[in-house]
């Protein structure tokens, strides 16, 4: 039996040496010489999604070799006709399999091949032409700015922590310079939510105070601002002590005491539950700040703790103290008096607000959110000389009241943000150029949130532009007006034409975003308006020049263009824009200026009749997560 089996087995040919063969061992050569099929590993590439059973892989490989040997010619016949074989070199890219005769070829790649390809792509070496700059040699303050730009904000709605916190911790472990910059970014306004995270920070601050130099970073000297969620961190049993936290942060510059229910646009349904929080500003807050020689630059007063009148009274007393009187950024939240409030209490609250604002001579930024107190009586109390003014969800604010304040105190205003003000139309914008000549940022959103019902509220005005089309200040950089309501088609045409006509006087404009909701207009009229005005806005405002490749110029791969080349490119681009504008002028009825502004990086125009809502639902919100494979279910 053994003899017969050996006679039927093909006889192995003697080893043939080639001139350029550099095999290191006989085993390697026998393995390569015995295989006449395409050069590939007998064992499949293991991936993380596959089981790594070596026994099964070995057995399958042996069976495959046996089947191939029974169908392929013997090695002796190949050595007689095979020409001189040079040394094999690894392929530069993914090589195709060599077709073997009498073997059926696969029409589709198998799953294992796709897996091995993916793994190979992941572990491939980076390009040798890429040059990584020495980031670690950048100055400390430059790295801090980079980390802040990449990581902020650290919190999302309802104090949800963003992945950027873990990213900062991971990036800080690369090198010492990255560690210092990431820690400075993380501790500038440290994440304190949830409670166990605040307790951990308190432990490190105490260790840094009791045993200085034992930590790699001085935690106490890097904290500048504190954002504290009152319900879970202070009012809750077992929470942290605000007095102790202030004593451990000597470089403190700002405090924000907030509630997760303050953002009415995301949690309007939970507003009634927010009234159950029982917490007041500590009596020793001012004393602790003064004992630590803390001079605040920013502070938030919240009418939830405990009510509007008491908060304004405390603000009036605090703003005259050394720790508060140099503030530059002030925010008031939830200053609303109920309808049952007596007139004497209303007058007292207004007087408290007036005194509190008058005590801050260095104030530059003022913000009112969810404040029903802002009306024709309190608006004139706002101080002059502001650079930034934000009025959000002030239901009693009207355009006439706002225009009256801007006429006396809007000369130096640079940023104006008006969101969710139900009674305010845009009549003041007819004189905006003269009211705010230095204005750089204009942001308006006309969605109105009603926390007492499940539907959004309608505006309390009949016409959006009662005084005619707007006038635009020449210093504007950003124009963002969302959900423009109560606007007719004729008024929208005048609004768009005012922007196009003023394009020559807007040399610094970089962003233009408009969302218009037309009143009593059919879908054909809206489509026609989009076709007419969108090309006009793009031709006039959109910057179509390609950004300069700073990396290529820095590395020396491309010479910068000469002066004559830049002039030729600028002239050619200008002529192309003029030609495109002349072609579109026949298709649109809008007035186009002779020269284009062409400096906006963002030009967005939306014309619809969709009712603005707190939450916009799309098609994906109504689709299943995955298609079902059940045939009966699909039938």
Digit-coded pLDDT (tens) for 520-543: 888 899 999 999 999 999 999 999
Where would I find the H helices in 542-602? 550-555, 563-585
**Percent of the chain scored above 70 by pLDDT?**
66
Contact criterion met (CB below 8 Å) for 264 and 292: no
Report pLDDT for 601. 92
Residue 116 has pLDDT above 60, yes or no: no
Is residue 219's pLDDT more than 50? yes
- Between residues 98 and 506, the one the model is more confident about: 506
pLDDT in tens, 252-286: 999 999 988 887 655 555 555 555 678 899 988 99
In this predicted structure, which of 34-38, 213-217, 319-323, 506-510 has the lowest mean pLDDT? 34-38
pLDDT greater at residue 613 or residue 2: 613
Q: How far are the Cα atoms of 133, 181, 186, 227, 300 from residue 173, in angstroms, in the given order?
A: 18, 11, 14, 26, 35
**Cα distance between residue 273 and residue 175, in whole Å:** 47
Angle at 622 between CA 618 and CA 624, to 5 degrees: 130
294, pLDDT greater than 90: yes
Which are the contacts of 410, defined by CB distance < 8 A and separation ≥ 6?
435, 436, 439
Cis, peptide link before residue 306, omega less than 30° from 0: yes
Of 219-223, 233-237, 560-564, the one with minimum mean pLDDT is 560-564
Nearest to 484 by CA among 469, 500, 464: 464
Burial 190-229 (b: 16+ CB within 10 A, else e): bbbbebeebeebbebbeebeeeeeeeebebbebbbbbbbb
pLDDT digits (tens, 9 = 90+) for 366-402: 999 999 999 999 999 999 999 999 999 999 999 999 9
Distance, CA of 507 to CA of 571 (rounded, Å): 18
Helix (H) or strand (E) holding 1: none
Q: What is the pLDDT of residues 544-595, one digit of tens each?
A: 887 766 554 444 444 445 444 445 555 555 544 554 555 454 444 444 454 6
- pLDDT value at position 448? 85
The per-residue pLDDT for 617 is 66
Residue-level pLDDT at 331 = 97
Q: pTM of the full predicted structure? A: 0.71
Which pLDDT score is estimated for 48? 42
Using DSSP, state whether 184 is helix, strand or coil: helix
Task: Report, as an integer, the average pLDDT of 96-103.
Answer: 49
pLDDT of residue 54: 44
pLDDT of residue 36: 44
Instruction: Measure the CA–CA gap between 335 and 308, rounded to whole angstroms.
Output: 5
pLDDT of residue 411: 94
Q: How confident is the model at residue 619 (pLDDT cuts 50, 70, 90)?
A: confident
Bridge partners (DSSP) listed for residue 496 = none
Residue indicated by tokens 């963003």: 162
- Residue carrying the six token digits 């020495």: 134
- Residue 485: alpha-carbon gap to chain centroid: 27
- In the three-class reduction of DSSP (H, G, I as helix; E, B as strand; rest coil), residue 225 is classed as strand
For range 598-623, the mean pLDDT? 78
Of 27-31, 370-374, 464-468, 613-617, which range is least confident? Answer: 27-31
Q: What's the pLDDT band for 300 if we cut at 50, 70, 90?
A: very high
Q: What letter does residue 427 receive in the DSSP assignment?
A: G
Residue 147 has pLDDT above 90, yes or no: yes
Residue 29 has pLDDT above 70, yes or no: no
Query: What rounded mean pLDDT belongs to the chain?
Result: 77
**Which of 9 and 371 is assigned the larger pLDDT?**
371
441, pLDDT greater than 50: yes
> Bridge partners of 258?
229
Residue 12 predicted with pLDDT over 90: no
> Phi and psi at residue 226, in whole multiples of 5°?
-125, 120
131 Ramachandran zone, left/alpha/beta (phi>0; psi -120 to 50): beta
In sequence order, the 6+-apart residues with CB closer than 8 A to the CB of 98 are 37, 38
Contacts of the segment 626-632: beta carbons below 8 A, 24+ positions apart: none
Give the pLDDT band (50/70/90) at residue 628: low
**Higher per-residue pLDDT: 370 or 93:** 370
Mean pLDDT of 76-89: 49
Of 404, 334, 326, the C-alpha closest to 372 is 334
Checking DSSP bridges between strand 298-302 and strand 254-258, what pairing results, if any?
Answer: parallel
- Please, are residues 505 and 468 in contact by the beta-carbon 8 Å criterion? no
Q: Give the model's pLDDT for residue 252.
A: 95
Please report the DSSP string for 438-469 in residue order.
T--EEEEE-----TTSSSPPPPS-S-S-TT-S
Strands 329-333 and 365-369: what pairing?
parallel
What is the model's pLDDT at position 61?
A: 43
Element (H, E) at 3: helix 2-8
Residue in the block written with tokens 């040079």: 86
Listed in sequence order, the residues at least 6 apart from 443 whose beta carbon sits closer than 8 Å to its beta carbon are: 415, 416, 417, 418, 419, 478, 480, 481
Tell the residue number behind the tokens 């007998």, with chain if given: 42
The DSSP secondary-structure symbol of 81 reads: H
Sign of the CA dihedral running 113, 117, 123, 128: positive
Q: Which two tokens stand for residue 243?
A: 């007095």
- In this predicted structure, what is the pLDDT of residue 357? 96
% of the chain beyond a pLDDT of 90 = 51
CA-nearest of 425, 417, 438, 553 to 480 is 417
Q: Is the pLDDT of residue 312 over 50?
A: yes
3-state secondary structure of 472: coil
Average pLDDT (182-189) is 94
Measured CA to CA, the distance from residue 257 to residue 333 in angstroms comes to: 10
End-to-end CA distance of the chain: 62
Question: 233: which 2 tokens?
Answer: 């961190």
What is the average pLDDT across 475-499? 94
Rounded to whole angstroms, the Cα distance separating 406 from 400 reads: 10
Per the structure block, which two tokens stand in for 43? 């064992």
> Strand, coil or helix: what is 179?
helix
Domain range list for the chain: 227-368
pLDDT score of 614: 57
Query: Phi and psi for 393 in degrees, rounded to 5?
Result: 55, 45
Whether 230 has a pLDDT exceeding 60, the answer reads yes
Residue 247: pLDDT band (50, 70, 90) is very high
Model confidence band, residue 138 (pLDDT cutoffs 50, 70, 90): very high
Phi (first) and psi of residue 499, to 5 degrees: -70, -45
Q: Rounded to an integer, what is the distance from CA 609 to the centroid of its chain?
A: 28
Measured in residues, the chain has a length of 635
pLDDT at 359: 93
SS3 120: helix
Quote the pLDDT of residue 79.
42
Backbone φ and ψ for 142, nearest 5 degrees, come out as -70, -45
DSSP 45: P
- The top-scoring range by mean pLDDT among 103-107, 117-121, 136-140, 156-160 is 136-140
| Nearest alpha carbon to residue 184 among 153, 143, 154 | 143
pLDDT at 456: 60
Contact 511, 479 (CB under 8 A): yes
More confident residue, 91 or 164: 164
Query: Which SS3 state, helix, strand or coil, does residue 79 take?
Result: helix
pLDDT of residue 497: 95
| pLDDT higher than threshold 50 for residue 143 | yes
Please check whether residue 249 is in contact with residue 223, taking contact to mean a CB–CB distance below 8 angstroms: yes
């Amino acid at each position: 039996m053994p003899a017969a089996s050996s006679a039927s087995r093909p006889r192995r040919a003697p080893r043939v040496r080639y001139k350029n063969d550099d095999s290191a061992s006989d085993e390697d050569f026998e393995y390569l010489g015995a295989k006449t099929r395409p050069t590939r590993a007998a064992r499949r590439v293991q991936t993380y999604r596959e089981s790594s059973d070596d026994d099964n892989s070995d057995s399958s490989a042996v069976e495959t070799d046996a089947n191939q040997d029974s169908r392929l010619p013997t090695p002796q016949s190949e050595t007689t006709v095979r020409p001189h074989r040079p040394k094999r070199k690894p392929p530069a890219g993914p090589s195709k399999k060599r077709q073997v005769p009498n073997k059926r070829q696969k029409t589709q790649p198998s799953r294992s091949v796709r897996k091995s390809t993916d793994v190979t792509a992941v572990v491939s070496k980076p390009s040798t032409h890429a040059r990584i700059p020495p980031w670690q040699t950048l100055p400390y303050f430059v790295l801090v700015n980079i980390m802040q730009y990449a990581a902020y904000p650290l919190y999302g709605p309802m104090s949800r922590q963003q992945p950027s916190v873990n990213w900062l911790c991971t990036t800080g472990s690369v090198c010492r310079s990255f560690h210092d910059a990431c820690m400075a970014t993380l501790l500038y306004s440290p994440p304190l939510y949830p409670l166990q995270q605040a307790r951990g920070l308190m432990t490190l601050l105490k260790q840094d105070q009791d045993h200085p130099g034992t930590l790699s970073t001085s935690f106490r000297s890097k904290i500048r601002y504190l954002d504290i969620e009152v319900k879970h961190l202070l009012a809750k049993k077992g929470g942290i002590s605000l007095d102790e936290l202030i004593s451990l942060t000597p470089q403190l510059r700002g405090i924000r005491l907030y509630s997760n229910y303050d953002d009415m646009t995301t949690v309007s349904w939970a507003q009634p539950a927010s009234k159950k929080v029982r917490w007041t500003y500590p009596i020793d807050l001012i004393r602790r700040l003064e004992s630590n020689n803390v001079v605040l630059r920013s502070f938030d007063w919240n009418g939830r703790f405990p009510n509007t009148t008491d908060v304004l009274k405390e603000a009036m007393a605090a703003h005259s103290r050394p720790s508060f009187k140099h503030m530059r950024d002030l925010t008031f939240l939830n200053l609303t008096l109920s309808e049952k409030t007596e007139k004497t209490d209303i007058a007292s609250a207004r007087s408290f607000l007036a005194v509190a604002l008058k005590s801050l001579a260095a104030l530059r930024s003022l913000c009112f959110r969810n404040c029903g107190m802002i009306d024709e009586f309190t608006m004139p109390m706002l101080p002059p000389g502001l650079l930034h003014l934000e009025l959000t969800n002030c239901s009693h604010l009207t355009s006439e009241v706002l225009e009256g304040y801007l006429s006396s105190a809007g000369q130096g205003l640079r940023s104006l943000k008006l969101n969710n003000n139900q009674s305010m139309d845009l009549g003041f914008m007819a004189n905006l150029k003269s009211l705010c000549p230095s204005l750089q940022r204009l942001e308006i959103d006309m969605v109105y949130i009603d926390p007492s019902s499940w539907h959004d509220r309608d505006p309390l005005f009949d016409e959006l532009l009662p005084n005619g089309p707007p006038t635009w200040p020449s210093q504007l950089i950003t124009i963002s007006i969302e959900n423009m309501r109560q606007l007719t088609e004729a008024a929208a045409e005048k609004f768009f034409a005012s922007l196009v006509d003023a394009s020559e006087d807007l040399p610094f404009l970089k962003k233009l975003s408009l969302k218009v909701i037309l009143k009593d207009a059919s879908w054909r009229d809206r489509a026609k308006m989009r076709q007419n005005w969108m090309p006009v806005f793009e031709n006039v405002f959109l910057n179509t020049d390609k950004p300069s490749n700073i990396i290529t110029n820095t590395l020396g791969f491309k010479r910068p263009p000469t002066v004559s080349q830049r002039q030729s490119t600028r002239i050619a681009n200008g002529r192309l824009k003029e030609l495109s504008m002349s072609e579109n002028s026949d298709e649109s009825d809008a007035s186009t200026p002779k020269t284009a502004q062409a400096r906006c990086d963002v030009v967005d125009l939306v014309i619809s009749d969709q009712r603005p809502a707190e939450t916009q639902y799309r098609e994906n919100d109504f689709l299943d997560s995955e298609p079902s494979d059940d045939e009966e279910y699909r039938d």
